[in-house]
Structure 1
Amino acid sequence: MNQTYASSADGTGIDAAKVAALADEPLDWRFKALPPAAWGLTVGQYLATRPALADLGTPLLTLDAGALDHNLRTMAAWCEAAGVALAPHGKTTMAPALWQAQIEAGAHGITLANLPQLRVARAFGVDRIQLANTLLDPAGLGWLAAELDADPGFAFTSWVDSAESVRLMDDALRAAGAGRPVEVLVELGGPAGRTGARTVAEAVEVAEAVRRAPTLRLAGIGGYEGALAHDASEGGLAAVRHYLHQLEALHLALAGRYESEQPVVTAGGSAYFDTVADVLRPFADAKVIIRAGAYLAHDDGFYRGISPLSRGAGTPLRSAMHGWARVVSHPEPDLALLDAGKRDLPYDEGMPEPQNVRTGAGAGAGAKSLAGTGARISRLNDQHAFLHGAGDLAPVGAVLRLGLSHPCTAFDKWALIPVLDDVDGPAPRVVDLVRTYF
Structure 2
Amino acid sequence: MSQTMYDPARVQSLGEEILDFRHKAVPAALQGLDISEFSGRGLGLNQLQTPLLTLDRDALDFNARLLAAWCEERGILLAPHGKTTMSPELWARQMDLGAWGITLANAAQLRVARHFGFTRLMLANSLTDPQAIRWAADQAADGSRIVSWVDSVDTVALLDRELTGHGTLDVIVERGGHGGRTGARTHQEALAIARAVHDSPQLRLVGVGGYEGALAHTADDAGLAAVRGYLADVVALHEALLAEGLYDADELIATAGGSAYFDDVVDVLGPVRTSGGDGAPHVDVVIRSGAYIVHDDGFYRGISPFSRQDPDGPQSFRSAMHGWVRVVSQPEPGLAILEGGKRDLPFDEGLPVPQVLSAGLGEEGVPLAGAEITAVNDQHAFLRFPEDLDIRPGQVIRLGLSHPCTALDKWTLIPVLDSTRDTSSPTVVGAVRTFF
**Could you list the per-position Cα deviations for residues 127-160 of structure 1 after superposition, in whole angstroms to 9, with x for gaps in the alignment?**
100000000111111211221222x2x1110000
Output aligned runs, 1:337-352, within 5 Å: 337-352=337-352
User: CA–CA distance in 2 between the matches of 1:201 and 1:190?
Assistant: 13
* Structure 2 residue corresponding to 1:76, chosen from 40, 60, 68: 68
State the shift of 1:47 in Å.
Answer: 2.4
**Could you list the per-position Cα deviations for residues 336-389 of structure 1 after superposition, in whole angstroms to 9, with x for gaps in the alignment?**
010000000000000101110110xx311111112xx21110010100111112
Instruction: Give the AA of the match of 1:218.
Output: L
1:376 aligns with 2:346: no
Structure 1 window deviating more from structure 2 (271-280 vs 81-90): it is 81-90
State the shift of 1:83 in Å.
Answer: 2.3
* Structure 2 residue corresponding to 1:310, chosen from 300, 307, 331: 307
Output aligned runs, 1:410-421, within 5 Å: 410-421=407-418
Instruction: Give the AA of the match of 1:225.
Output: E
* Structure 2 residue corresponding to 1:389, chosen from 385, 388, 398: 385
State the shift of 1:393 in Å.
Answer: 3.9
* Structure 1 residue corresponding to 2:28, chosen from 18, 33, 36: 36
1:157 aligns with 2:177: no
Give the SS at the match of 2:125. coil
For 2:280, the equivalent position in structure 1 comes to none
* Structure 2 residue corresponding to 1:137, chosen from 129, 135, 141: 129
For 2:236, the equivalent position in structure 1 comes to 249
1:112 aligns with 2:104: yes
User: CA–CA distance in 1 between the matches of 2:223 and 2:103?
Assistant: 25
State the shift of 1:394 in Å.
Answer: 2.5
Aligned residue pairs, count: 421
For 1:171, the equivalent position in structure 2 comes to 161
For 1:4, the equivalent position in structure 2 comes to none
**Could you list the per-position Cα deviations for residues 65-85 of structure 1 after superposition, in whole angstroms to 9, with x for gaps in the alignment?**
110011011111111123211
User: Retained in 1: the 8 A contact 2:123–2:149?
Assistant: yes
For 2:270, the equivalent position in structure 1 comes to 281
User: Retained in 2: the 8 A contact 1:416–1:434?
Assistant: yes
User: CA–CA distance in 2 between the matches of 1:113 and 1:415?
Assistant: 19
User: Retained in 1: the 8 A contact 2:364–2:424?
Assistant: yes
Give the SS at the match of 2:375. strand
Instruction: Give the AA of the match of 2:70.
Output: W
State the shift of 1:10 in Å.
Answer: 5.9
* Structure 2 residue corresponding to 1:202, chosen from 177, 186, 189: 189
Instruction: Give the AA of the match of 1:435.
Output: R
* Structure 1 residue corresponding to 2:224, chosen from 214, 230, 237: 237
Instruction: Give the AA of the match of 1:279.
Output: V
Q: 1:398 to 1:14 in 2, by over 3 A?
A: same
State the shift of 1:44 in Å.
Answer: 1.3
Instruction: Give the AA of the match of 2:225.
Output: A
Q: Show structure 1 runs of 5+ residues with no match.
A: 1-8
State the shift of 1:312 in Å.
Answer: 5.0
**Could you list the per-position Cα deviations for residues 404-427 of structure 1 after superposition, in whole angstroms to 9, with x for gaps in the alignment?**
000000010000000001223131
Instruction: Give me the TM-score of the superposition, normalised by structure 1.
Output: 0.94
User: Retained in 1: the 8 A contact 2:418–2:429?
Assistant: yes
User: Retained in 2: the 8 A contact 1:12–1:103?
Assistant: no
Q: 1:437 to 1:281 in 2, by over 3 A?
A: same
User: Retained in 2: the 8 A contact 1:419–1:432?
Assistant: yes
State the shift of 1:49 in Å.
Answer: 2.3
User: CA–CA distance in 1 between the matches of 2:268 and 2:252?
Assistant: 17
1:61 aligns with 2:53: yes
State the shift of 1:95 in Å.
Answer: 0.4
User: Retained in 2: the 8 A contact 1:12–1:104?
Assistant: no
Give the SS at the match of 1:311. coil
State the shift of 1:111 in Å.
Answer: 0.3
1:404 aligns with 2:374: no
Q: 1:284 to 1:49 in 2, by over 3 A?
A: closer
**Could you list the per-position Cα deviations for residues 60-118 of structure 1 after superposition, in whole angstroms to 9, with x for gaps in the alignment?**
10000110011011111111123211101000000000000111111110000001101
Q: 1:297 to 1:201 in 2, by over 3 A?
A: same
State the shift of 1:237 in Å.
Answer: 0.3
1:190 aligns with 2:177: yes
User: Retained in 1: the 8 A contact 2:59–2:318?
Assistant: yes
For 1:436, the equivalent position in structure 2 comes to 434
Instruction: Give me the TM-score of the superposition, normalised by structure 2.
Output: 0.94
1:268 aligns with 2:260: no
User: CA–CA distance in 2 between the matches of 1:312 and 1:250?
Assistant: 33
RMSD between superposed Cα atoms in Å: 1.4
Percent of aligned positions that are identical:
56
Give the SS at the match of 1:259. coil
Q: 1:197 to 1:342 in 2, by over 3 A?
A: same
User: Retained in 2: the 8 A contact 1:357–1:393?
Assistant: no
Structure 1 window deviating more from structure 2 (298-307 vs 140-149): it is 140-149
User: Retained in 1: the 8 A contact 2:45–2:428?
Assistant: yes
**Could you list the per-position Cα deviations for residues 263-320 of structure 1 after superposition, in whole angstroms to 9, with x for gaps in the alignment?**
1000001110000000010113310000000000000000000001112599210000
User: CA–CA distance in 1 between the matches of 2:411 and 2:391?
Assistant: 26
* Structure 2 residue corresponding to 1:51, chosen from 40, 43, 56: 43
**Could you list the per-position Cα deviations for residues 182-226 of structure 1 after superposition, in whole angstroms to 9, with x for gaps in the alignment?**
000000001111011111111011000001111100000110011
User: CA–CA distance in 2 between the matches of 1:207 and 1:296?
Assistant: 34
* Structure 2 residue corresponding to 1:87, chosen from 79, 84, 101: 79
User: CA–CA distance in 1 between the matches of 2:163 and 2:155?
Assistant: 12
User: CA–CA distance in 1 between the matches of 2:397 and 2:383?
Assistant: 10
User: CA–CA distance in 2 between the matches of 1:81 and 1:146?
Assistant: 36
State the shift of 1:14 in Å.
Answer: 1.1
State the shift of 1:390 in Å.
Answer: 5.4
For 1:259, the equivalent position in structure 2 comes to 248
Q: Show structure 2 runs of 5+ residues with no match.
A: 275-282
